[in-house]
Structure 1
Amino acid sequence: MENTSMLREWFERVDSEKTGNITAIQLKSALAVGNLEFPLSVVQQMIRMYDFDRNGTMSFDEFVGLNKFLLKVQQAFSDLERGLGYLVPDDVYKGLVKIGFSLDSPSFYTVCEESF
C-alpha cells in the first residue's frame, strides 16, 4: 500500500484504542489485512527496527516507514523470482544486497546450506 490515506485508514482500523500507536499484535493484524502473514516474533522484530521513539509500539509514521521497507523488499524479490514461484539462494542473496543489506557471501551460503 503506497497511498498515505489508505495507509492511515489501514492503521486506524487496527488502532482499536485510538492511541495513535499499535502493538505487535495489532501490527500483525494490519499486515494480515494486506496478505502479509508473519509470526509474532518477526512482527516484534519489525517494531524494534522501526520504533524510533523506543516506546515499544508503532506510530503511524513508523508504520509508513515499515511499509516502504516491505514494498522495497517485495519489489526486489518479485524482480528476481522470474515467475518460478520460488527463489534460489543466489536470488535471495542478490535481493538482500539490492535492498541495502551488507552480507558476507560465504557466511550467507553456509547458512543456506545448513537450512536446507
Structure 2
Amino acid sequence: MAYPYQQQPQQQQQQWYGPPQQGGGMPPQQPQGQQYYYQGQPQQGGMSQQPQHQQPGHYAGGAPPPQQQQQQQQQQPPRPGAAQPQGWCGQYYSQIPQQELYELQRWFRSMDRDNSGSISANELANVAVGGSVLGIDNGMKLIRVFDVDGNGTIDFNEYASLHKFLLSMQQTFKMGDKDGNGRLDAREIHEAILKGGFTNVSFKAAQGLYNKYNRSGMGLNMAEFISIVAHIALARSVLERLDYDRDGRITVNIDQMYEISANF
C-alpha cells in the first residue's frame, strides 16, 4: 500500500522503516542520493518476508563496505542464554530466529552513530518510520519502554525487541487501514490498537488518544499511529514496573503520580 506522504521508488511499494538519509546514521561509502528502505513486507506478528536474492535487514543501497562485511562476520549475536528483554516487550524478542539476530546487527550498527555499543534517544529519533522520522518525543518514550536494564539507552538485545515491535505496528497499521487511504480514522483506531496487542485499551481511551495525536485533523498517518502505540506501550511498561503483585492494578501516592506523569 502506498502512502501519500511517503516517497518511494516506483519499484518499491512496501512498508518500511530504517535509518534516514545522509546524517542519519546510515552505513558509509554509499552512492550519494541513494535512499535506504527496509525491504521486508511485515507479516502478521511482525515477521518479514524477503525476496530470495536479498537477505532480511539489508539496505537497498547494496552490500556494505568490505571492512563492514568482515566486522559482521566476526560479530556474533547474543547466545540464547544471554540476558534478554523481559516483561511484555520480551515477547517481541522471542519471535526473532537466531539467524535474524545476525542480520539485525547491521541495522543496529547503522543507528549507533557514535559507536558506543548502544542507541540513545537522539539516535533513535532519526529513524524513519512510514516516511517520517520518529522524532525525539517518540524516541524517548520507546527508549523508556525497551530499556530493560534502565541505563538510559538500548543495547542490541533491547533494540532487537524494538525492531520487531516497529515491524509489528507497521503491519497493524496496514491491516487497520481498511479503506486504503494511508490513514486511520476514528472508527479504525480502536480496532487497530486491539490488533496491535493492547487488548485492555477501551474505546473511550482510544478516542482520547486519537484526538490527542490527530494533529492534521485528517486521521492518523503511520508516524502518528506510532506515537499512539508508543504512548500506550510506555503506560503499560510503567504499570508493569509498579504492579508488584501482578493483578493489573497499582496504588500510587502523589509523588509517584508526578513521576509517572513526567514520562508523558
**TM norm structure 1:** 0.82
Equivalent in 56, 60, 66 of residue 162 of structure 2: 66
Q: Name the counterpart of 2:119.
A: 22
Larger % of helix: which? 1
Cα distance change of structure 1 residues 111 and 34 upon mapping to structure 2, 3 Å threshold: closer
Q: Name the Cα RMSD after superposition.
A: 2.4
**How far is 1:47 from its partner?**
0.3
Q: Name the counterpart of 2:12.
A: none
**How far is 1:78 from its partner?**
0.2
**How far is 1:108 from its partner?**
2.7
Cα distance change of structure 1 residues 109 and 16 upon mapping to structure 2, 3 Å threshold: closer
Q: Name the counterpart of 1:10.
A: 107
Q: Does 1:97 align with 2:199?
A: no
Give the share of equivalent positions with the same residue, in percent: 30
Equivalent in 81, 87, 108 of residue 184 of structure 2: 87
Assess if the C-alpha contact under 8 Å between 1:76 and 1:99 holds in 2: yes
Q: How many residues align?
A: 115
Q: Does 1:47 align with 2:143?
A: yes
Q: Name the counterpart of 1:107.
A: 205
Distance 2:132 2:157 in 1: 19
**How far is 1:33 from its partner?**
8.3
Deviations 1:73-107 (A, max 9, x none): 11011012132221112211111111121212223
Secondary structure of the structure 2 residue equivalent to 1:93: helix
**How far is 1:113 from its partner?**
5.3
Assess if the C-alpha contact under 8 Å between 1:76 and 1:98 holds in 2: yes
Cα distance change of structure 1 residues 70 and 19 upon mapping to structure 2, 3 Å threshold: same
Assess if the C-alpha contact under 8 Å between 1:73 and 1:95 holds in 2: no
**How far is 1:34 from its partner?**
8.0
**TM norm structure 2:** 0.39
Distance 2:148 2:210 in 1: 31
Residue identity matched to 1:97: L
Distance 1:110 1:15 in 2: 35
Assess if the C-alpha contact under 8 Å between 1:14 and 1:27 holds in 2: yes
**How far is 1:56 from its partner?**
0.2
Secondary structure of the structure 2 residue equivalent to 1:58: coil
Cα distance change of structure 1 residues 50 and 36 upon mapping to structure 2, 3 Å threshold: farther
Residue identity matched to 2:156: F
User: Structure 1 stretch 12-21 or stretch 52-61: which is displaced more?
Assistant: 12-21
